[in-house]
Amino acid sequence: MSSVAVRDDLVIGVDIGGTKVAAGLVDPSGEILCHNRNPMVCNDGAENGLASVTKAIETASAQAVSAAGKHNLIRGVGICSPGPLDPKTGVVINPPNLPCWRNFPLAAEVAHIYRVRVKVDNDANAAGLAETLWGAGRGYHNVFYVTLGTGIGTAILIGGRIYHGRTGAAAEGGHMSIDYKGPRCGCGKPGCIEILAAGPAIARRARAKLESGRSSSLLDLAGGKIERVTSEMVGQAAAAGYSAASEVLQETVELLSFWFGNIVDLLEPDVMIVGGGVASMLKPFLGEIRDRLPGCCVNQRCKEIPLVSARYGEDAGIAGGAALCFDAARNNGSTPIVGAAEVPVTR
């Protein structure tokens, strides 16, 4: 007979994007035990948007069967959603890529359905918290986290807590401008680091080099079509030693170095963590960015600050959602979460 006990310490982390919802079971050490991905219906009303989320939650809960063949207990649900949102109330305000929700009380709706603790925050804050609790930021007091992908999201963790600012809108570091005459960002401002150094900017600068007549094997990777060049291809071509692609990454490193210099001058964190889809491409350059910091900030001890890769990759949102839940429990003492539901979750 198996003596494996039913677990009662798991939470479900949910990662909502513009096209998909991912969810997974996460244990108190930040291990993601299983995960799933479902489409996000974001153009067909609030109810169908919510149904996409509950489907992901219910798929995850159905996976929560213990080795003993019994259902584990789920302690809560943590959700990261595109912002703007109010992390205190869990109300999603008006994300551009989630037209289904306007002032939608996501946390309250999900808590009402499953009668568990529900926490909601934006993806960068959540992922930064996961790194602080379980990843590259463990053991550090003040953490700066950046996710580099199609956009640039950031989180500031002070004493292990997310710094939200007055209304929850703080830590929009991707929209710090480093060039007021630069290209206009999607947010309306000129020269944000996001419009200069996120994935689409890397691809755009590479395309500009090809359009100016540079011949490059980068073009071969894109099947001869300039418009098909992606940031991933730039990374591959640079790794293979092609000069146009290497120049683009070098420029990205320079832009990010000045931006990180600003971060150091403003926050002087104990560690800076880089995650997101573009992070793996830039990993070989983190040492160079750190070496450049003395020329990009006034902090004389800036090179002592570790600049490191994140623990979590694609699953950062799931880990982040779960981290919100574990953190909420931690901050309310070590007592079990009231209302923990047996799974499969029922309505």
Residue number, 113 or 197, with CB nearest to Zn ion: 197
Exposure b/e, 67-106, CB count within 10 A at least 16 = b? eeeebbbbbbbbbbbbbbbbbeebbbeebeebebbeebbb
Shortest approach of Zn ion to residue 88 CB, angstroms? Answer: 25
For 258-288, give one letter per residue: b (16+ CB within 10 A) or e.
bbbbbbbeebebbbbbbbbbbbbbbeebbee
CB 182 to Zn ion: min, Å: 10
Query: Tokens representing 159?
Result: 């004493």
CB 312 to Zn ion: min, Å: 25
- The position carrying tokens 């930040």 is 30
Identify any residues that bridge with 118 across adjacent strands, giving them in sequence order. 77
For residue 184, the minimal CB distance to Zn ion (Å) is 8
CB of 189 to Zn ion, least distance (A): 5
Peptide bond into 294 cis (omega under 30): no
How many chain residues touch Zn ion (CB under 5 A)?
Answer: 5
Q: Does residue 154 belong to the site contacting Zn ion (CB under 5 A)?
A: no
Binders of Zn ion among 201-260, rule CB under 5 A?
Answer: none
Instruction: Rank residues 189 and 204 by Cβ distance to Zn ion and give the closer one.
Output: 189
Residues 163-202 that bind Zn ion (CB under 5 A): 175, 185, 187, 189, 192
Residue 271 to residues 30, 132, 138, 143, 170: CA-CA distances in angstroms?
A: 20, 10, 10, 5, 19
Which residues are at the interface with Zn ion (CB under 5 A)? 175, 185, 187, 189, 192
